[in-house]
Amino acid sequence: MYRFLYRHLLSRLDAEQMHGAALRALAVTGAVPLGRALLRSLFAPRCDPSLRVQAFGLRFAHPLGLAGGFDKDGVALHGLAALGFSFIEVGTVTPLPQMGNAKPRLFRLPEDRALINRLGFPSSGMARVARNLRRRPAQPLAISLGKNKATPLHAALQDYRAALERLYPYGDLFVINISSPNTPELRNLQRAVYLADLLAGLRQALEAQDVAKPLLLKIAPDLSLDEITTICVLALQHDISGVIATNTTVSRPSGLRSTAARQIGGLSGAPLRSISTEIVRHIRQVTAGKLPVIGVGGVFSGADIWEKLRAGAVLVQAYSGFVYEGPSLVRRAIAELRQIMAAEGVRNLSEIVGTA
Ligand SMILES: Cc1cc2nc3c(=O)[nH]c(=O)nc-3n(C[C@H](O)[C@H](O)[C@H](O)COP(=O)(O)O)c2cc1C
């Protein structure tokens, strides 16, 4: 139904306007118990103990969460949770409100099952997001932190630290986003010269808190494997809890068919799938599993979840898959995952992490 609607109607509408309408619909439906019950009955997956994941000191009903960027301000969390995502990443949130880049800045590549975006962290800012998060769903909530565009790189730590401290009471895990391609120079923070100081400063900020919560780094897919190894070494040195691999890519894999492939920005969706899976595998190998990975990039199905888990991810996330598959993504992908587990004789997901 969603695929039919998407092909014949939704794909003709402006991508960012459609996204706003979907968020508003989820916010309204998710605001009342009856609406949530309806969403759950229509879309939430059937879960059982074999799908449960324990990671970062938290419990997840199954491995599929919603990736950062879909609900940047945390306005539709109850609706999104009722669709069955086992965790949701809010943000990226910047300390001060900012508009992001000029429109148009979000493009569909339907022939490639992909998106290109150059949003540039539009954010209501941390104070507003903190208010939005006062009533949050029960599922584990990750909060993605960014820096304002106007903040120079050498002052980035202050931005991340301010957002971490302001939002700390509201999240279960925190993500340092240093990998968006749409904020000038941001990805330079992944270089060892900047990263060591950033991580040391954030570790200090965490230690000043009463309750310990996990802090993860989200990395780009456009780094060399050596650069990723260096990041992992630094992350382990600074006691970072895990890595999210990966953000969108500025590369354009050969064979893209859609006209929008020429747009500037980060590419996500099917063409990113194997690139990010290989990075998950690399991190798992070079850290001997000591740095848990959340795998993201091109997850549309149970087979895609299976692939990322086998490569070494403990959890996975989707964004583009949700746009293309619609609200039944989680139910369908988790049903497919259960079928694969049954066919392979796997009784618990922890048996397969990193076995490929
Ligand atoms: C429109 C759009 C906005 C995004 N915004 C963010 C963001 O604010 N923070 C972030 O960490 N990742 C952001 N991402 C990246 C996704 O979280 C994810 O890493 C990437 O899209 C790859 O996953 P996918 O192939 O399932 O889409 C965004 C992606 C898209 C398509």
Ligand 1 binding pocket mutation candidate from 186, 247, 305 (most atoms within 8 A of CB): 247
Is the CB of 101 inside a 6 Å radius of any atom of ligand 1? no
Is the CB of 86 inside a 6 Å radius of any atom of ligand 1? no
Question: Is 110 inside any structural domain?
Answer: yes
What's the 68 CA to ligand 1 centre distance in angstroms?
6
Question: Rounded mean pLDDT of 277-290?
Answer: 96
Question: Rounded mean pLDDT of 28-35?
Answer: 94
pLDDT averaged over the chain? 93
**What pLDDT band is residue 2 in, cutting at 50, 70 and 90?**
low
* Domains held by the chain: number: 1
Kindly report the protein residue whose alpha carbon is nearest to atom 22 of ligand 1: 297
205-257 tens-digit pLDDT = 999 999 999 999 999 999 999 999 999 999 999 999 999 999 999 999 999 99
Is the CB of 109 inside a 6 Å radius of any atom of ligand 1? no
Q: Is 328 a catalytic residue?
A: no
Is the CB of 65 inside a 6 Å radius of any atom of ligand 1? no
DSSP codes of every residue in 124-178: --HHHHHHHTTS--SS-EEEEE---TTS-GGGHHHHHHHHHHHHGGG-SEEEEE-
Full residue range of the structural domain in which residue 44 is found: 2-351
pLDDT of res. 69: 97
Give the contacts of 192 (CB within 8 A, at least 6 positions apart).
Answer: 230, 231, 234
What's the 116 CA to ligand 1 centre distance in angstroms?
10
Kindly report the protein residue whose alpha carbon is nearest to atom 4 of ligand 1: 69
Question: Is 237 inside any structural domain?
Answer: yes
CATH code assigned at 155: 3.20.20.70
CA 199, CA 114: separation in Å to the nearest integer?
32
Is the CB of 115 inside a 6 Å radius of any atom of ligand 1? yes
262-273 tens-digit pLDDT = 999 999 999 999
Out of 124, 144, 179, 180, pick the active-site residue: 180
**What pLDDT band is residue 188 in, cutting at 50, 70 and 90?**
confident
What's the 339 CA to ligand 1 centre distance in angstroms?
28
234-247 tens-digit pLDDT = 999 999 999 999 99
pLDDT of res. 110: 92
Q: Left if phi > 0, otherwise alpha if psi is -120 to 50, otherwise beta: which for 66? A: beta
Sheet holding 114-117, edge to edge: 106-109, 114-117, 266-269
Question: Is 87 inside any structural domain?
Answer: yes
Question: Is 356 inside any structural domain?
Answer: no
Is the CB of 218 inside a 6 Å radius of any atom of ligand 1? yes
